[in-house]
Amino acid sequence: MLSLVFPIRIQNSLSSFKHKPSSSTTRDWPRSYRNHSHAYPPISLPKFHKVLATTTDVAAEEEEREVKERVAGAGDSPGEEQLPAGLQQELMPRHVAVIMDGNVRWARLRGFPAALGHEAGVRSLRKLIGLCCKWGIRVLTVFAFSCDNWIRPKVEVDFLMHLFEREIKSELENFIREGIQISMIGDSSKLPKSLQELIADAAKTTKENPRFQLIVAVSYSGQYDIAQACQRIAHKVKDGLIQPGRHQ
User: Which active-site residues does the annotation give?
Assistant: 101
Q: What is the 3-state secondary structure (H, E, C) of the chain?
A: CCCCCCCCCCCCCCCCCCCCCCCCCCCCCCCCCCCCCCCCCCCCHHHHHHHHHHHHHHHHHHHHHHHHHHHHCCCCCCCCCCCCCCCCHHHCCCEEEEECCCHHHHHHHCCCCHHHHHHHHHHHHHHHHHHHHHHCCCEEEEEEEEHHHHHCCHHHHHHHHHHHHHHHHHHHHHHHHHCEEEEEECCHHHCCHHHHHHHHHHHHHHCCCCCEEEEEEEEECHHHHHHHHHHHHHHHHHCCCCCCCCCC
